[in-house]
Amino acid sequence: MTHTDFIYIPGKREEKRIPSRVLEEIIHQQIHSGQRHLEIEAFGQHGIGGRLWDAGTDPVNIRIIGHSGQRTGSLGNANTCIEIMGPASDDLGWLNAGARIVVHGHASNGVMNGAAQGRVFVGGSIGARGMTMTKHNPRFDPPELWVLGTAGDYFGEFMAGGIAVVCGHGSQPEEKVLGYRPLVGMVGGKVFVRGSAAGFSQKDAKQVSLTDDDWQWLETGLENFLKKTGRMDLLATLTVRPEWMLLTAKSPHEKADSPNRPDMQGFRKQVWDRELGPGGLIGDLQETVPGTIPVIATGDLRRYVPVWEQDKYIAPCQAACPTGIPVQDRWAMVRADNVDEAIAMGLAHTPFPATVCGYLCPSPCMAACTRHQEGMPPVSVRNLGRAGEQVPPPEPPEKTGRKMAVIGAGPGGLSAAWHLTLNGHLVTVFDTGSVIGGKIASVIPGSRIPENTLKTELARIKALIPDIRLKQSIDADAFARIRDEYDFTVVAAGAKKPKSLPVPGIELAVFANEFLSDAKTKKITPGKQVVIIGAGNVGCDVATEAHRLGARDITLIDVQRPAAFGKEREDAENCGAKFLWPVYTKEITEQGVMLQSGDLLPADTVVVAIGDVPDLDFIQPHLAVDNGFVTVDRFNRTSDPKVFAIGDAVASGLITDAIGAGKRTAQVIDQLISGKEVRETPAMPVMDTSRVHLAYYDPKTRPDDLSSCGDVCASCGRCRDCGICVAVCPESAIFRNDLGKAGFEYQVDPDKCIGCGFCKGACPCGIWDLIPNTPM
């Protein structure tokens, strides 16, 4: 192609620069008129050589002399070849869509910015932000940029496709051929570099080795590039393969897989621990274990551990029983088919299992029963007690040779004598009365206890304790003799002296004990109208007996809310007895009881039932008394170390209180004899019944016989050996150990247990607890 083939288009007219818009029009007119070779003498006009699509597929050659302006060849067409005979201004080949451009000098900033096709050869160096935002549309060949010299800063930012070749010719040693911070945000394309690309974005790009195909492509391309730019003299210099490197974009996976920072594990080992010492920050202060522990841990790492607390707590029934009978143990025996043993066990605690447990006792054990928590009836102890009637007395053990005296053959005294005898001592019981049994025998109405039962139990007592001396006159001297003669003396003289009222006409009234005792022998007829002063349980007994004896209008009066409760009160109410309170007696007349209010309560019989006090005449010279009762410490010891006092002589109470005191006194006496320190048997804490689970029991069940009672007993604090825990444990960590004669136990394998507490949550008896593990 010679110079003459080109149409010359001057960029000036009449010495004035043609505006870019006009020059663009001229170029397009020439193309329209069929010209395909244009030489343009440019004076900085914008965008020369772009957008020449009017030529169709015909090649168009543009030669630019003079000063090419910005964006030469921008939006370039694939049919366009542009040759710039001097340097190029900014944004050469901007948004290039196919134009081939050769620059015989340097090019300034933004070469190929946003280009997607075409090829730019620069025979010098380029400015900043070359090859930025370039694309590669797979329908076309990728854009190419060839630079003989070096690239300016921020080369290849956000490069998404295309190939750049930077030859670095003429660069200084150590000079960064790709300028400062190249390839930031690069996501595609290739960059061949001859020289240093130091500082390129490691986050986005990576250096790869040239394959043979790469090299062949580069070698061929270089020859073409040098030919076009007229620098074939450099071919040998530039085609030294080891001098070239290739940079490509990292894939998203590569970016994700190799975070652009060293791993923390390495840092910890090589930097952190090296500076601080083994074990890191606190390795000098405590042993540190590397790694983490699982959230659900076993063994020592459990936060909580289960414990099987058999025999650590007493059941509420046992705790509530003044006599201290282990009720739940007895039901356990029933469940284990040891019914006889369960029944016989009663005699180890009381001489009156049938009379008291079976009939007379208000049963604090049942009142305390855990089953109440869910409105279920308590386990009835009555049957178990009554079954004790026919059990023969226990065999007394070998005699100790010690002699014990018990004054009073009421329930307290007989209990003391019973237990002292069972402990092997020789016991003598003294009583002023003609029968044994005290108030049980003499005062309590027959309606509340079958005569035969009482007889049988009293006979059993007599059989065990041969030396019971009745109708004894015990005055102060007699007491002193007894006290001296026996190793220990237990005063259980009861409260036999009725309390009286300081009102006129009191002599017209009869005292409750006298009334009840007479009633038993049927010697009296109280008449239709009876007024009872004192509305306690004894008053109720009087009411019931009076009714039995024909009274129909019965009134119990009291100065305060009636203290009567339970069976006694129920019976009285069933007899139609009325309760009046608060009322105050002014006097007792033949007509009845005159109240302070002025009202008269007509009565055929007036009974005073405001309680009894002990008769302490025989004691007073020897023992300290207080407010009408014998003074004792918590072990029932009186002021005389050889004398104990129990029952109503000490304080008013239930029959079972007196029986319990007799039992404990026998224990204390044994402690004294054996020279031990007198102390309470360490009481086990009472079971926390919220640990007991009652959902297992059918609330509709109303147990009546022994067997079903045993079944519904919640067995608070005493393992039922049901194995629910074994079944429930999600880790199979619980197992049962057979201890032969010693029974059994449940154990936990700490290596399996996760401390979930399911055993505690499921245990019907509350044996399992979950406690914090020992602090580490």
- Chain residues in the site for other proteins (CB under 8 A): 154, 157-158, 181, 184-185, 261-262, 264-265, 267-268, 271-272, 275-277, 280-286, 288-289, 291-293, 295-297, 301-304, 372-375, 690, 693, 695-696, 698-700, 728-731, 754-758, 760-762, 764, 770, 773, 775-776
Q: Least separation, in Å, of the C-beta of 542 and other proteins?
A: 35
Minimum CB–partner distance for residue 329 and other proteins (Å): 24
Q: Least separation, in Å, of the C-beta of 715 and other proteins?
A: 15
Tokens for 711?
């079944």
Strand partners, 771: 305
Tokens standing for 102? Answer: 């050769």
CB of 316 to other proteins, least distance (A): 13
Looking at the Cβ atoms of 221 and 757, the one nearer to other proteins is 757
At 415, give phi and psi (nearest 5°): -65, -45
The residue written with tokens 């001396």 in the block is 469
Which residue in the block uniquely carries the two structure tokens 């009274």?
A: 551
- What are the tokens at 760? 């505690």
Minimal distance, residue 690 CB to other proteins, in Å: 8
Please list, in sequence order, all residues whose beta carbon lies within 8 angstroms of the beta carbon of residue 284, skipping any fewer than 6 positions away. 277
Please report how close the Cβ of residue 116 comes to other proteins at its closest, in angstroms.
21
Three-point CA angle 605, 610, 612, nearest 5°: 115
Q: Which is nearer to other proteins, 100 or 718 (CB)?
A: 718
Using CA atoms, how far residue 177 sits from 182, 199, 207, 208, 519, in Å, is 10, 11, 15, 17, 129
Cβ atoms of 149 and 176 closer than 8 Å = no
- Please state the closest distance from residue 376 (CB atom) to other proteins, in A: 9
Task: Name the one residue in this structure whose structure tokens are 């070749």.
Answer: 165
- Measured from the CB atom, the residue of 699 and 743 that comes closer to other proteins is 699
Q: How far is the CB of 351 from other proteins (least distance, A)?
A: 36
Least distance (Å) between residue 310 CB and other proteins: 20
Nearer to other proteins, 602 or 730 (CB): 730
Distance CA 623, CA 631 (A): 8
Q: In the complex, what is the shortest distance from the CB of residue 775 to other proteins, in angstroms, rounded to a whole number?
A: 7
Pick 277 or 397: Cβ nearer other proteins: 277
- Cβ proximity to other proteins, 78 vs 297, nearer residue: 297
Q: How far is the CB of 246 from other proteins (least distance, A)?
A: 23
Tell me whether residue 303 or residue 561 sits nearer to other proteins (CB atom).
Answer: 303
Minimum Å gap between C-beta 158 and other proteins is 8
- The least distance separating other proteins from the CB of residue 270, rounded to whole angstroms, comes to 11
Of the candidates 349, 518, 387, 517, the residue with the CA atom closest to the CA atom of residue 441: 517
Between CA 387 and CA 626 the distance in angstroms is 40
Burial class (CB in 10 A: 0-12, 13-18, 19+), 5: exposed
Alpha helices by DSSP H, 509-587: 512-520, 537-548, 566-574
Structure tokens at 544: 């019931």
Query: What stretches of 461-507 adopt beta strand conformation (E)?
Result: 468-469, 488-491, 497-498
Closer of 62 and 733 to other proteins (Cβ)? 733
Nearer to other proteins, 160 or 333 (CB): 160
The alpha carbon of residue 102 and the mean position of all alpha carbons in its chain are separated, in whole angstroms, by 79
- Cβ density class 265-280: b for 16+ within 10 Å, e for less: eeeeeeeeeeeeeeee
306 by DSSP, 3-state: which? strand
| CB closer to other proteins out of 504 and 761 | 761
Residue 166, classified by CB atoms within 10 Å of its CB into exposed (0-12), middle (13-18) or buried (19+), is buried
Amino acid at residue number 701? T
Nearer to other proteins, 271 or 336 (CB): 271
Give the integer Cα–Cα distance in Å for 412 and 561.
29
- Residue 231 to residue 228: CA distance in whole angstroms: 8
**What is the closest distance, in whole angstroms, from the C-beta atom of residue 752 to other proteins in the complex?**
11
- Rounded CA-CA distance 511/500 in Å is 8
Distance CA 149, CA 643 (A): 124
* Cβ nearer to other proteins, comparing 370 with 421: 370
Q: How far is the CB of 304 from other proteins (least distance, A)?
A: 8
144-147 and 510-511 beta bridge pairing: unpaired
Which strands make up the sheet holding 403-407, listed edge to edge?
468-469, 426-430, 403-407, 488-491, 643-645
CA 255 to chain centroid, in Å, comes to 44
End-to-end CA distance of the chain: 93
Q: Which is nearer to other proteins, 201 or 537 (CB)?
A: 201
Helix (H, G, I), strand (E, B) or coil at 513: helix
Compute φ and ψ for 284, nearest 5 degrees. -85, -15
Measured from the CB atom, the residue of 261 and 741 that comes closer to other proteins is: 261
In this complex, which beta carbon is closest to other proteins, that of residue 299 or of residue 505? 299
